[in-house]
Amino acid sequence: MPYCEVGRYADGDKWEGVRLFYRRYGCGATKVLLIIGLAGTHDSWGPQIKGLTGSLEPADDEPPRPDEEAGAGAAGAAEAAPAEGDDAGGDGIEVCCFDNRGVGRSSIPPNKSYYSTAIMAKDALALMDHLGWKKAHVFGHSMGAMISCKLAAIAPHRLCSLALLNVTGGGFQCFPKVDGQMLSLAFRFLRAKTPEERALVDLETHYTKEYLEETVGSCTRRMVLYQEYVKGISSTGMQSNCGFEGQVNACWTHKMTTKELDTIRSAGFLISVIHGRYDIIAQLCHANV
């Protein structure tokens, strides 16, 4: 299985490795890094992966070796690499998505202090290094968009473009609008013990009732998506309370400084901010960084 060692943390006298589980799809000089949001796993990007690469079949588990073509070590390969990519992959697109720390098959650090958008941005940067990617187009959704902002501020020279989907400024902006529907969803989310129970909550959180009831072939979108969600959640297992609390802490403590925002604005790459009009978690009024 493809894992990336992204760092080590100390817990008293005990040291544990933090590993990220990732998947690559497609092949080409154009690199795209997808960073998912709270409680999501790499599987959540299925439609986007299919749209970008035309396939949901993972590429080789082993990352590409930067020195294969240069034949003179990693340094020589870096010098020989094209400006917008890292290996001679042609005109295609290579996509990488991964499980953030605290969810799926990645490590679950036990303490909330090991979770922040800055720490998780460094995870993403370490993954790019592991893959041998000099630059990439970065897509982030929700918490993943907050992480993407930090990544862009830490290493703007590593980004070709930045797409922020349903991003907020963190803190109180992460709180959904409190009403009867939201209280019901929150209660059911916290009580969900099986992939089936969790999938039902996720569908109502991610889609409008009208969209779910649309007919696709001989059944509704709700039926199709329900099966996909159950399959995705079952493949990695339910998120632990420790991992969920850590990721919530990362959202709550997220904040972009004026200096960081100025760094991103002056970097020169294209920035897209995309938001769902009816998002009940990340409200449209908070669609900023």
pLDDT digits over 173-188, tens only? 888 878 888 888 888 9
Question: Maximum Cα–Cα distance for the chain, whole Å?
Answer: 63
What is the chain's mean pLDDT, rounded? Answer: 86
pLDDT-derived band at 207, boundaries 50, 70, 90: confident
Q: Is 104 left (phi over 0), alpha (psi -120 to 50) or beta?
A: left
Q: What is the mean pLDDT of residues 6-30?
A: 78
Residues 6+ apart with CB under 8 A from 104: 21, 41, 42, 236, 237, 239
What domains does the chain contain, in order, with CATH numbers? 3-175+253-286 (3.40.50.1820)
Sorted by sequence, the CB contacts under 8 Å of residue 207 that are 6+ apart come out as 221, 225
Rounded-to-10 torsion of CA 258, 261, 266, 267: 140
Between CA 59 and CA 100 the distance in angstroms is 20
Alpha helix segments (H runs only) across 132-269: 143-154, 180-191, 195-206, 209-212, 221-236, 241-253, 258-265
pLDDT at 6: 85
Q: Residue 70's pLDDT is what?
A: 39
- The confidence band for 84, taking pLDDT boundaries of 50, 70 and 90, is very low
**What is the model's pTM?**
0.84
Does position 169 have pLDDT exceeding 70, yes or no?
A: yes
* CA-to-CA dists, residue 136 to 33, 129, 176, angstroms: 6, 11, 31
State residue 79's pLDDT score: 34
